[in-house]
A and B are shown apart, each in its own frame.
Chain A
Amino acid sequence: MLAGILTVTEMALRIFWRDKHALFWGIAFPLMLMGLIGTVFSDMDNLVLRTAVVIPDGGNPLSQGMLAALEDVRALEVVVEDEATALAALRRGDRSLVVVLPGDEATAALAGGGTSAPVPVRVYYDEARMQVAQAGLAIVNGIVHDINQRVTGRADVLAVEAAGVAAEQLSMFDFLLPGILAMGLMQSGLMGVSAVITAYRERLLLKRVLATPFPPAAFLAGLILRFTITNVIQGLIIVLVGVLVFGARVVGSYVHLLFLVLVGSVVFLTIGFAISTVSRTAEAANTMGSAVAFPMMFLSGTFWPRELIPQSLQPLIDVLPLTPLVEAMRAVVTQGESLAAHAAGLLYLGAWAVAAAVVAVRRFRWE
């Protein structure tokens, strides 16, 4: 059985290697995107963000702590001023970011043990300078994340992570690398798998298998193995080019990153199989895959932080399967977080895989 599966995998890999379109979309396109976006927005490297910090209600221990954390970040040049002055300066272009720290309501929330609704830390940015906003939001998010974890009482772990956030300046390529990795997996599943399976069905190649003594399930297993192998190779090339050519840094564990590549591969392969069961032609599969993939690519934080996307779209972003994958990969790459911190997101991805597998198995047709 294993030899048979490997035979199918070898055949499918050979076809993939000879398919110039698949090679372009699978490997060249993600690298081009990373190179283009990273180069266009590379001026944010070594950038100093003039940041106004607003401290309402005369300050409290929490806001003082956050101010200290912000001042520790090399990339920020912090001034404390009132909100109206700061916003006017932002509109003039004299400030890159305005951070309004929480007032007394935060102290009340702390006293309640963190059970009340989250207290907002408002960040104003210039919508015309998105790359600046990305950098600033990533830094503020890191600090808020750190303080949130302190509130939960895990101060010993947090001190290390807070130091990481404060010391590391995020480059555009650091930010893009995990997004492009996740995007490649999504494209491979939603557009690659669904188009290949539908084309094989349309050209009666799946039906041919049924006329041989070969077990049909082993044929599908061979194709799944082919896509998993190409996904890992694609991920490897993206990481190598990202790190060696574009100078991206992977702070976290490569093993964790490989694990996330495999998880993402399984999830989007399964969704691709499900899509292939509802499309009759390869063109229809491609259109359907694109219709699902493109909005996800732009909404799930692949190229820019989801915080930049309007609040009204946030509930939609929460349900997209690409979102937890991008978040987990970015946390591993840029902050060195453990997978355990993203267990909920990984479980959610698992639920997507199971749901898609149910659809694929129930509806799969050989002809």
Chain B
Amino acid sequence: MIQARGLEKVYGGRPVVRGLTFAVEPGEVLGLVGPNGAGKTTTLRMLATTLRPTRGTATVAGYDVVREPLLVRAHVGVLPTDPGLYGRLTAAENLRFYGHLCGLEGAPLERRIDELLEWLGLREAKHQRTEEFSKGMRQKLALARAVIHDPPVLILDEPTAGLDVLSSRAVIDFIRESRQAGRSVLFSSHYLLEADRVCDRIAIIVDGEICALGTPAEVCRAVGAATLEDAFAAWVARRAPGVATRVV
């Protein structure tokens, strides 16, 4: 569902992402973990077609991210770091607006809105303006917006950043249910425990390069670490000792 081959991004002569190659299969959750500035968000944005790769290719749901961006967008749900909701619109109006932008309308869209609000526990807040929402409620609504058009692929950037325990749990459950529904999920995270719990595979990315890719157990075993956190520190230290000191 997601295929990246030699994906690169250069900003002002400085490479930010260097030759990433990986795939995410249907019903699989791949976590991109790495220190700040490692290139996680840049990678996600190239796959979501909001940033053009400098080199390399990628397909999402079978469509090329450079040549067929509109088709990619029609088949991918994106959750950015900032929910980006219209504060003066209600939850239902926000979802309805994005549903329209994705080509949905009428009774099927209204049913989808009710279904998603129910699923994420926002039914009571359907007619409440989002400027009155808590951060957790906003994030849940942003997730609902990302899947309003029922896309087969999800790209989530730091989906639990800054959320309380219950909201984080709701997001993790959402990712698990998306996997059960057969979606391919690619997400970035700083929280290794969370990545360990939800990811089928993990890619550790340092300085724009993937230095480890495998199941959490494989990533730990390769460096003789007992926990994913230890493994992460060991991998980062191998590739960028300065960064490892800061992280650990």
Contacts and interface: CB of A to CB of B under 8 A. Distances in A.
Interface stretch (B30-38, B70-78, B170-178, B196-204): B70-78
A156 interface: no
Interface in A10-68: 11, 14-15, 18-19
Chain A facing B: main interface SS: helix
A215 B74 CA distance: 12
A213 B70 contact: yes
B70 A208 contact: no
A15 B93 CA distance: 11
A205 B101 CA distance: 13
A178 B86 CA distance: 35
B89 A211 contact: no
Nearest to B131: A18
B195 interface: no
B205 to A, nearest CB: 21
Contacts of B78: 211
A207 B85 CA distance: 11
Interface in B92-122: 93, 97-98, 100-103
Nearest to A6: B100
Given A4-B101, A15-B89, A207-B50, A212 B84 contact: no
Contacts of A210: 49-50
A154 interface: no
Nearest to A204: B84
A209 B88 CA distance: 17
A7 B129 CA distance: 19
Nearest to A17: B88
Most chain A beta-carbon contacts within 10 A, residue among B76, B101, B103: B101
A11 B89 contact: yes
Nearest to B80: A204
A203 interface: yes
Contacts of A208: 80, 84, 98
A4 B178 CA distance: 29
B82 interface: yes
Contacts of A212: 73, 98, 101-102
Range for the number of chain A residues in contact with chain B: 20 to 34
B206 interface: no
B58 interface: no
Nearest to A206: B84
B219 interface: no
A210 B51 CA distance: 10
A148 B71 CA distance: 65
A210 B49 CA distance: 8
Nearest to B97: A11
A254 interface: no
A37 B98 CA distance: 45
Contact of A18 (B88, B97, B103): B88
B101 A7 contact: yes
Contact of A213 (B74, B84, B86, B97): B74
A300 B119 CA distance: 58
B217 to A, nearest CB: 34
Contact of A7 (B70, B76, B80, B97): B97
Contacts of B91: none
A322 to B, nearest CB: 30
A280 to B, nearest CB: 16
A205 B84 contact: yes
A18 B76 CA distance: 32
A210 B76 CA distance: 12
Contacts of A15: 86, 88-89
Contacts of A18: 88, 129
A205 B85 CA distance: 7
A364 interface: no
A207 B80 contact: yes
Contacts of B82: 203-204
Given A19-B88, A215-B70, 6 more contacts: A4-B101, A11-B89, A14-B88, A209-B101, A214-B101, A367-B50
30 contacts: A4-B100, A7-B101, A11-B86, A11-B89, A11-B93, A11-B97, A14-B88, A15-B86, A15-B89, A18-B88, A18-B129, A203-B82, A204-B82, A204-B84, A205-B84, A205-B86, A209-B101, A210-B49, A210-B50, A211-B49, A211-B73, A211-B78, A212-B98, A212-B101, A212-B102, A213-B71, A213-B73, A214-B102, A219-B101, A367-B50
